[in-house]
């Protein structure tokens, strides 16, 4: 198997592996290409019982669907049909002339149609939660439930500092040719995570951040009627927990599940995050 090409030395990887624990990266599903008529080609994974309630997973900024959700897949797919797609400009997602969260939301509805799903649940993380809110607004008749993780109604001015710092880091990660392949077990999954992260280009990150900066659902969240659960990351430094709690208060009947983890808890704190996510999905289907 070929080596992952990264600028880190062996010593650098050993330091990362000692300090940052990640969930095991074995048995990760292999995404397959799918064309959404009139919209473009993306890639999805589709796992779990075919007759089970379907959940479409929407990933975070700069991520692929696998990168955000892989620690949650074994648990979720025991009970649900779990579908993840790379959103526009991310990973193998649709390549279009412009990027908008509204187009991402319409892609979700189109994916449901292409898969023959009349209704489904959407679970979104960070940027994906904003897209999820838009799906509930633009296609309410398609949803059975909505799960919003590390979410917000808008990005406050002071939060742009965190995004600016993020972009300074990603600017150093210049894209290189890549091959999607299964991770090598010897590196604990760190190189696979890094490889997935690099599949989204710097220009795509800029476009997505601009769209996020212009997102504001504060004026219409109260109109949503989809059963909604909000998973709050209590140690989040990117999206303040109080802003996440505000989303739960804004949506009629929404329930809240708290996780004692930071913004990347979906990957780095799966022991805390996965049970809360599963409980949230169970609640919206109850």
Could you report how far apart the first and last alpha carbons of the chain are, in Å?
45
Domain ranges of the chain: 10-284
d(CA 6, CA 1): 15
Please report how the helices 101-114 and 127-138 are oriented relative to each other, as an axis angle in degrees rounded to 10: 70
d(CA 223, CA 243): 18
Which pair of structure tokens corresponds to residue 20?
Answer: 């940052």
| Residue spans of beta strands (DSSP E) within 48-152 | 54-58, 81-85, 120-125, 143-149
HSE-up of 58 (CA within 13 Å, CB side)?
Answer: 32
Query: What's the pLDDT score for residue 172?
Result: 44
Query: What's the pLDDT score for residue 261?
Result: 97
pLDDT, averaged per 10 consecutive residues of the chain (286 residues), comes to 41 49 82 98 98 98 96 98 98 97 99 99 98 99 99 76 50 44 50 86 91 96 98 96 98 99 94 98 98
Query: What's the pLDDT score for residue 191?
Result: 79
Look at strands 32-36 and 40-47 and give their pairing. Answer: antiparallel
Q: In sequence order, what DSSP letters do the residues of 122-167 get, joined into one string?
A: EEEETHHHHHHHHHHHH-GGGEEEEEEES--SB--GGGHHHHHHHH
Give, as one character, the DSSP assignment of residue 238: S
For the domain with range 10-284, which CATH number is right: 3.40.50.720, 3.40.50.1820, 3.30.70.270, 3.30.450.40? 3.40.50.1820
Q: Please, which residues bridge with residue 42 across strands?
A: 34
The three-state secondary structure class of 102 is helix
Sign (positive or negative) of CA dihedral 280, 76, 263, 108:
negative
Phi, psi values for residue 58, rounded to 5°: -120, 125
Which pair of structure tokens corresponds to residue 28?
Answer: 């990760």
């Amino acid at each position: 198997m070929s080596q992952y090409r990264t600028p880190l030395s062996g010593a650098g990887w050993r330091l990362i592996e000692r300090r940052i624990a990640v969930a095991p990266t074995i048995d990760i599903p292999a995404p397959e290409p799918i064309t959404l008529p009139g919209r473009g080609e993306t890639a999805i994974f589709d796992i779990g019982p075919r007759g089970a309630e379907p959940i479409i997973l929407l990933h975070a900024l700069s991520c692929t669907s696998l990168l955000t959700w892989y620690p949650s897949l074994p648990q979720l797919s025991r009970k649900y049909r779990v579908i993840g797609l790379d959103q526009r400009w991310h990973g193998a997602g649709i390549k279009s002339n412009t990027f908008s969260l509204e187009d991402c939301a319409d892609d979700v509805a189109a994916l449901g149609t292409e898969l023959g799903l009349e209704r489904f649940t959407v679970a979104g993380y960070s940027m994906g939660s904003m897209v999820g809110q838009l799906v509930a607004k633009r296609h309410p008749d398609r949803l059975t439930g909505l799960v919003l993780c590390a979410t917000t109604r808008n990005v406050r001015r002071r939060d742009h500092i965190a995004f600016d710092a993020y972009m300074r880091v990603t600017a150093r990660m210049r894209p290189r040719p890549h091959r999607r392949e299964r991770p090598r077990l010897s590196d604990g999954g760190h190189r696979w995570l890094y490889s997935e992260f690099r599949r989204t280009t710097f220009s795509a990150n800029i476009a997505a951040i601009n769209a996020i900066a212009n997102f504001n659902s504060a004026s219409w969240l109260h109109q949503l009627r989809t059963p909604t659960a909000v998973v709050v990351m209590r140690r989040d430094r990117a999206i303040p927990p109080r802003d996440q709690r505000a989303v739960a208060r804004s949506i009629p009947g929404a329930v809240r599940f708290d996780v004692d983890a930071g913004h990347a808890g979906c990957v780095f704190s799966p022991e805390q995050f996965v049970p809360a996510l599963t409980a949230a999905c169970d609640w919206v289907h109850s």
